[in-house]
Amino acid sequence: MKDWRYWLAEQRGTLLAFGIFIVMFAIYSANHPAGFTANVVQTAANKGVLLAFVAMAQTLVVITAGIDLSVGMIFTLTNCMASWLVIGTGLETAFGVLAVLGTGLLCGAVNGAIVIYGRLQPIVATIATGAVFFGLALLLRPVPGGSVNEDLADFLTGRFFGVVPASLVSLLVIVLVVWVPFSRSEFGRAAYAAGSSETAAYMSGVPIRRGKFLAYTLAGLLAAIGGLFLTFFTYTGEAAYASGNAYTLFSIAAVVLGGVSLFGGKGSAIGAIFGALAFRTIGDLLFVFDFDPLWQPLFQGVILLIAVSLGAFALFRVRNRLEWFL
Amino acid sequence: MDAATPLFRMEGISKRYGGVRALEKADLTVTAGGIHAILGENGAGKSTLIKIMAGVVAPDEGTMTLDGREVSFASPAAANQAGIVCIFQELSLIPELSVADNIVISDPPKRFGMIDRKAQRRIAEEALARAGASDIHPRALVKDLPLSRRQMVEIAKALARKPRILILDEATSALTAADVAKVFEVLKRLRSEGLALLYISHRMNEIAELADHCTVFRNGRNVASYPAGSKSDNEVVELMIGREYSHIFPPKPGPTAAATTVLEARNLSWADRLDNISLSVKAGEVVGLGGLDGQGQRELLLAFFGVLRGLSGEILIDGKPVSIASPTAASHGRIGMALIPEDRKTEGLMLPMTVRENLSFAALDRLSKAGIIDRAAEQRLIDDMVGLLAIKTAGLDIPVGALSGGNQQKVVIAKWLMRQPRIILLNDPTRGIDVGTKQELYQLMRKLADAGAAILFYSTDYDELIGCCDRVLVLYDGAVKRELVGAEITEHALIASALNIHGEGAGPRQGAGA
């Protein structure tokens, strides 16, 4: 077999998510009253990148065969923080951004420490920490409010050269600065190895703990970047419980659509990004076809079910039924 | 061979697991530039020995010296660093990663803090070439490779670490003949390069071809060490025999001619694990499955129990062909089969649930009326079972995980006896339980057989097969190699046929596939 075929096999999940997204977005923009214009793309991008950041965060943890149910709450907490801190002069704003990102890192590190060194199941640990993060968000913003450095916000949510959505460029930069180095580092590989077969990884002398810890920590950072962008879009901070939870659940959906295996060890954040963009487009599609918005959850659910079922076909080839349960 | 300074030495190594003694004051000396074979039957302590060498488990006592300096390994990584690399029987490859990723996994080449993929590719290609497996593409995912290719990757991975001592634990068990020849060339080349190789295999012909030196283990001790070729196969078997007899077995009733055949298999094959197996078990008979661990015994039991898909051949119950599609189908209705699994913790019990719940799981359909469990009937049956098997428990409502290993195993058996099965399959049921409980199980097995059950009993303990079985079928490479009846069941015959040695008239008796 040729090298490119292996590449194709490796990227199948990502390419499939990319394909789904392109098809859906093509249908969407073809039926949009304004057509495929810079404005339409910018609006879609701004809605999509928030979930894309949170989905990237979720990917890192899912790769280690864990799950992070606190990403949505880190997203909410950092949104509330940013609405206090990312304001004022350039220097003050820069400090605020660093503080918000630092908080995200810290939240992720706490999750990682509890899961890895406390040996708690990720699902339980992150439900608990998620509640704590939301509690802190509520203390920061008992009622919605606050503001943000609007120059920075407008710059990062507008368009470069009048056509390229700045939020998409930011997403690309984050992918290059966070995801690419992680996935190609020894610790990134350790995270994959731990997710695929922790015993084999241990027997091979892989730094499992550091790999997993880094994955959880960077997940916190990515969720915080999402929270920062939320503030840029809304100009306010709000401790919204429903929205935080929705982001957590949608991030899992996006990850699955993006070809990342919930069993761990397989998938890429790029796929999850396209999964997130595709998932967002479902809502937009309903809009252009004049469906009642009430249909949205139903449609999202159906699309998700179809996508997940595709992954289950492999089970038909299993010859020892005990392997179903592995 | 330069035998002046041993490269590595183990002295007085002991290891216990719970109350079971795995190694008792074992010694081993390894010299550079030689291939050292380690022999011994199931449970003789070979696996524990190499796990200690490779840093997987820590010894209870004893010392290890490398280059004359005392060493101890806290983890496999520490042993690797000292130059000891082990190719384990259970593969240590990560399925979702590529071949190249796996080969460099413990120390990937780096540039600017990131893994250098070009260098990785080069290392992987070199290592695969050294292992004689250039046909494997470095980008292929390990999970997509067949078992024999994975084993070659495992060897390449070990070589990429530049070991000084390379341990191969049954490393050729899944290889094709062509691969074995290639691997042998590689091993001989490594020997000439000055590596020390430890070779663990049950295949006597391989050992004869490769080894310079042999050490035999028995009951956790090294009992003999000799230059390869200085002893005949039969002498080696004699050395391996000598297990301490500590069990008391119930008397066998002797041959009963009139009984009807209950369970029968004709030409059963599955994937590459079962090869044309035919056998029959009569009512009241205890038939043993012997042979080395992992020769298809477990798969055979799973095949009867409806777990495997894509079986070819026939299974007959009471002389009529049946198709068994699931464990539920196997245990219900007129088939009435029960399987006592080998790993009670994952396949036999729900550890956090109570003794009562665990006991009734398999029989719930018999205990319920219109879907509601008849508590009184359940209690009666459970009381019967607890009495019959003398299960020692502080109560029926404590988690089954709190019982001792022996009592847990009794619960697994009792759970199936609640269905009053006619066919009982046992998969190494006495592993890791105490002697007292073992004896109770032997008595029980005979009692059930006397009551008319047909029993198929796999054990890794030859002593048990001798003591309990009316007939023993010895499996090798997924096929029945020999059938031993009555007085023919001796330790010598069992070991010789398990190693597939044809000596002393040990040729296949009943041609059930070769």
Q: Using the 8-state DSSP alphabet, how is residue B40 labeled?
A: -
How many secondary structure helices (H) and strands (E) does chain B include?
17, 24
pLDDT score of B492: 86
Q: Check pLDDT > 50 for residue B132.
A: yes
Read off the pLDDT band of A1 (50, 70, 90).
Answer: low
Read off the pLDDT band of A326 (50, 70, 90).
Answer: low
Whole-angstrom distance, CA of residue A220 vs CA of residue A102: 9
Does A184 contact B117 at a Cβ distance shorter than 8 Å? yes
pLDDT score of B88: 74
pLDDT in tens, B53-104: 988 889 999 999 998 889 999 888 888 889 999 887 666 899 899 999 999 9
Q: Using the 8-state DSSP alphabet, how is residue B98 labeled?
A: B
pLDDT score of B245: 54
Interface predicted TM-score of the whole assembly (ipTM), two decimals: 0.83
Q: Check pLDDT > 60 for residue B308.
A: yes
Q: Which residues of B touch A205 (CB under 8 A)?
A: 75-77, 80, 105-106
Q: Check pLDDT > 90 for residue B107.
A: no
Q: What SS3 class is residue B469? A: coil
pLDDT in tens, A29-73: 888 888 888 888 888 898 899 999 999 999 999 999 999 999 999
Q: What does the pLDDT average to over B399-424?
A: 87
Q: Check pLDDT > 70 for residue B268.
A: yes
Read off the pLDDT band of B255 (50, 70, 90).
Answer: low
Nearest to B400 by CA among B388, B390, B387, B410: B410
Identify which of B88, B93, B96 has the shortest CB distance to residue A266.
Answer: B96
Does A204 contact B307 at a Cβ distance shorter than 8 Å? no
Q: What does the pLDDT average to over B193-209?
A: 85
Minimum mean pLDDT among A114-123, A147-156, B463-472, B502-511: which range?
A: B502-511
Whole-angstrom distance, CA of residue A61 vs CA of residue A191: 9
Average pLDDT, chain B: 85
Minimum mean pLDDT among A53-57, A310-314, B396-400: which range?
A: A310-314
Q: Check pLDDT > 80 for residue B414.
A: yes
Q: Check pLDDT > 70 for residue B395.
A: yes
pLDDT score of B511: 37
Residue pair B196/B79 in contact (Cβ under 8 Å)? The answer is: no
Nearest to B85 by CA among B152, B33, B161: B161
Q: To the nearest 5 percent, what fractions of chain B are helix, strand and coil?
A: 35, 25, 40
Read off the pLDDT band of A246 (50, 70, 90).
Answer: very high
Residues 6+ apart with CB under 8 A from A307: A20, A256, A257
How large is the C-alpha radius of gyration of chain B? Answer: 25
Q: Check pLDDT > 70 for residue B257.
A: no
Q: What is the pTM of this model?
A: 0.77
pLDDT in tens, A181-240: 999 999 999 999 999 998 888 888 788 999 999 999 999 999 999 999 999 999 999 999
Domains contained in chain B, CATH given: 8-240 (3.40.50.300), 260-336+421-504 (3.40.50.300), 346-420 (no CATH)
Does B110 contact A318 at a Cβ distance shorter than 8 Å? no
Read off the pLDDT band of B350 (50, 70, 90).
Answer: confident
- In sequence order, the β-bridge partners of residue B399 are B354
Q: What does the pLDDT average to over A83-106?
A: 95
Q: Check pLDDT > 50 for residue B512.
A: no
For residue A15, CA distances in Å to A270, B204, B209 come to 9, 51, 51
Residue pair A55/A275 in contact (Cβ under 8 Å)? The answer is: yes
- Is B113 an 8 Å CB contact of chain A? yes
Q: Check pLDDT > 90 for residue B21.
A: no
pLDDT in tens, A111-165: 999 999 999 999 999 999 999 999 999 999 999 998 999 999 999 998 888 889 9
- Is B73 an 8 Å CB contact of chain A? no
pLDDT in tens, B143-170: 888 777 888 898 899 999 889 999 998 8
Select from A5, A184, A199, A326 the residue whose CB has the most chain B CBs within 10 Å, as the one to mutate to test that interface.
A184
Identify which of B91, B106, B271 has the shortest CB distance to residue A205.
Answer: B106
How many secondary structure helices (H) and strands (E) does chain A include?
15, 2
Q: Using the 8-state DSSP alphabet, how is residue B250 labeled?
A: P
pLDDT score of B507: 40
pLDDT score of B334: 82
- In sequence order, the β-bridge partners of residue B64 are B10, B71
Q: Which residues of A touch B101 (CB under 8 A)?
A: 189
Select from A3, A62, A64, A203 the residue whose CB has the most chain B CBs within 10 Å, as the one to mutate to test that interface.
A203
What string of H, E and C letters represents the secondary structure of B251-267? CCCCCCCCCCEEEEEEE
What string of H, E and C letters represents the secondary structure of B393-423? CCCCCCEHHHCCHHHHHHHHHHHHHCCCCCE
